[in-house]
Chain A
Amino acid sequence: MLTTIFFLSSGLFLGWSLGANDAANIFGTAVGTKMVRFRVAALIASAFVIVGAVVGGSGGSETLGRLGAVNTLPGAFTVALAAALTVLWMTRLRLPVSTTQAIVGAILGWNVFAQMETDFGSLSTIVSSWVAGPILTMVFAALLFLLVKKLLKHIRVGIILQDAYTRAALIVAGAFGAYSLGANNIANVMGVFVPVSPFSASDFGLFTLSSAQQLFLLGGLAIAVGIYTYSHHVMQTVGNDLYKLSPIAALIVVLSSALVLFLFASEDLKLFLEARNLPSFPMVPISSSQAVVGGVLGIGVAKGGKNINLNVLTRIAMGWVATPLGAGVTCVVLLFIVQNLFALPVFE
């Protein structure tokens, strides 16, 4: 039992850092501008992240599993550790980092170390989703912005009531955003452990949780701990320093990025679209931070912005390469150490 918890710890650490960083993408502006109290934001974010993870989290894990099925618990531990260290290290360097890109790099590192063949179909699906995520968010944000602007012109609510409505909408959108974050990103945290899950399906009377869902629940709790212990500070930074958005613009950014994360996580939607022979979205974990940047850019475009900061885009694109590369190399080194120094089987 104790060894199990130890091996899961790297994943839980990833979950903690996800909660610490990514909850700010959902509630950062709302809390930073004092529209929503941190207490409220943290409670809603935690609850809905956990629900999203447990209810809708399986899709992304399957995709990551196809990329590389890490087949021992020590191996999964090392892969998650490599991703977590990369995230930590890049955060220290103040580079825009994505848990998604770190875990994919680490899995690729495991594939190399274990001399497994990488499924390039899955890899190209994943990488193209990374590119599509922020772009799609940008398009959604621009369209939503124009729509909301028209709507506001039409209904003409007084400014006090408008703020009250905006606040309520920020909370609802935040709940949706947290659900989507949980559903879409839990694969980053717990995905590598799914094939080697130490749990078995359990019946809780009212509902049953599969072994993967129990992992997701644990990961969701780790995310919640990250939200409560560390995200307040990040939210203040996002809300006040990084990009100053009006509450309505913030609402649109949250909604559009939540929508994109949802699209890339909802299996029901995928089945619905496929049944009607429509193009569907692959189940891929997307970086919520990069989606948010896309959303902010989208609002800039809708406002007729002339000075779109290309620097931001280059930094994101750099992250698509640097993060997986860093995590991959770290993973190979760590796997070597774990295998040879601690004599643990990192692959079968």
Chain B
Amino acid sequence: MSSHHRLNVPGTPALGVQIIMAILFKNAITLEVKIHHYLDNVTNSGILFREGIEDYLNGDTTQFNNKLADIRKNEEGADALRREIRYRLYKKMLIPESRGDVLGLLETTDDVIDATKKVLGHFDVEKPRVREFLKKDFSKLAQASADALDNVVKADRAFFNNKEGVEDYIHKVHFYEHQADQLEEQIKKNIFESEEIPDLAEKLQLRDFVELLGSLADQSEDVAERLSVYAIKRNP
């Protein structure tokens, strides 16, 4: 997943100019590339999360374990990138005005990555038994959470690229978070009203998993909230 194409140098200046710019602004260009790599990692986490949940619901243990391993590796990569970005921001004195904001944004975005890993990890450890009548709703909830994540990454990217649309994506994050909330409530009701699940302990366990699935959307919304403030602040 290369992100070089996202580098946004205005127009296409002559080769000589390009070389001089590359030398003069090497640090800034490297940092932009790193940030986009980091955002790629977040996108990956969302996809792996979505597919991992589907594999679990389908009972495909091998595939699920693959996704879990991938999501862990992905998270490690993202952590390393984030540390490097932080180091570069401070060591190279880049964007002093908003580096606190940028770092804050990346840290909260990191919570989203952590959430995806945590959810799959819990499924792996506890292996909750999701009854057939709940599977479709679990899948829908995972989808709403993944959609929220996807849109928050898009919002992040628009913000870093200085592109319009940040507000649109933020709006979509709110939309999917709300949808996830509604689903969560509905599923919980279904769980506790169900006679198919006799054991209260099992009901409580399933409730926790419903909340876990929805937590991804909540974390995405936290990032979106921050982002909307930063976007206003960056306005010259």
Seen from chain A, the residues whose Cβ lies within 8 Å of a Cβ on chain B are 33-35, 37, 148-149, 152, 155-165, 168, 246-249
Question: Is B91 an interface residue when CB atoms closer than 8 A count as contact?
Answer: no
Question: Which of A149, A156, A168, A246 touches B163 (beta carbons < 8 Å)?
Answer: A156
Given A165-B25, A248-B236, A249-B236: A160 and B94 within 8 A (CB)?
yes
Interface size class of B (residues with CB under 8 A): 20 to 34
Interface centre among A152, A164, A247 (most CB of B within 10 A): A164
State whether B24 touches A168 (Cβ < 8 A): yes
Could you tell me the distance in whole angstroms from the C-beta of A7 to the nearest C-beta in chain B?
45
**Sample of 26 A–B contacts (CB below 8 Å):** A37-B93, A152-B162, A156-B163, A157-B9, A157-B10, A157-B162, A158-B7, A158-B8, A158-B32, A159-B95, A159-B102, A159-B159, A159-B162, A160-B28, A160-B94, A161-B25, A161-B28, A163-B28, A164-B25, A164-B94, A165-B25, A168-B24, A246-B97, A247-B97, A248-B236, A249-B236
State whether B28 touches A152 (Cβ < 8 A): no
Given contacts A34-B96, A159-B98, 19 further A-B contacts (CB under 8 A): A33-B96, A35-B96, A37-B93, A148-B236, A149-B236, A152-B236, A155-B11, A158-B32, A159-B95, A159-B159, A160-B35, A161-B25, A161-B32, A163-B94, A164-B28, A164-B94, A168-B25, A248-B236, A249-B236
Find residues 187-236 in chain B having any chain A CB closer than 8 Å to their own CB: 234, 236
Given A163-B28, A164-B27, A165-B25: A158 and B95 within 8 A (CB)?
no
A-B complex: 7 closest residue pairs judged by Cβ atoms: A164-B28, A34-B96, A155-B10, A163-B95, A248-B236, A160-B32, A164-B25
List the B side residues contacting A155 at CB < 8 Å. Answer: 10-11
* Complex: chain A residue closest to B161, CB-CB: A158
List the B side residues contacting A162 at CB < 8 Å. Answer: 162
Could you tell me the distance in whole angstroms from the C-beta of A305 to the nearest C-beta in chain B?
14
0/1 per residue, B121-162, Cβ < 8 Å to A?
000000000000000000000000000000000000001111
State whether B234 touches A159 (Cβ < 8 A): yes
State whether A160 touches B160 (Cβ < 8 A): yes
List the B side residues contacting A37 at CB < 8 Å. Answer: 93
A-B contact count (CB 8 A): 68
List the A side residues contacting B10 at CB < 8 Å. Answer: 155-157
Find residues 157-179 in chain B having any chain A CB closer than 8 Å to their own CB: 159-163
List the B side residues contacting A248 at CB < 8 Å. Answer: 236
List the A side residues contacting B161 at CB < 8 Å. Answer: 156, 158-159
Question: Is B31 an interface residue when CB atoms closer than 8 A count as contact?
Answer: yes
Describe B's contact surface by its main secondary structure. Answer: loop
A248 to B29, CA, bound (A): 19
0/1 per residue, B40-81, Cβ < 8 Å to A?
000000000000000000000000000000000000000000
List the A side residues contacting B95 at CB < 8 Å. Answer: 159-160, 163
State whether B8 touches A159 (Cβ < 8 A): no
State whether B97 touches A161 (Cβ < 8 A): no
Could you tell me the distance in whole angstroms from the C-beta of B160 to the nearest C-beta in chain A?
6
0/1 per residue, B82-97, Cβ < 8 Å to A?
0000000000011111
State whether B160 touches A163 (Cβ < 8 A): no
List the A side residues contacting B29 at CB < 8 Å. Answer: 161
A152 to B235, CA, bound (A): 11
State whether A156 touches B162 (Cβ < 8 A): yes
List the A side residues contacting B102 at CB < 8 Å. Answer: 159
* Complex: chain A residue closest to B26, CB-CB: A164
Could you tell me the distance in whole angstroms from the C-beta of B19 to the nearest C-beta in chain A?
16
List the B side residues contacting A247 at CB < 8 Å. Answer: 97
List the B side residues contacting A35 at CB < 8 Å. Answer: 96-97
Could you tell me the distance in whole angstroms from the C-beta of A296 to the nearest C-beta in chain B?
14
A161 to B162, CA, bound (A): 10
Could you tell me the distance in whole angstroms from the C-beta of A254 to the nearest C-beta in chain B?
14
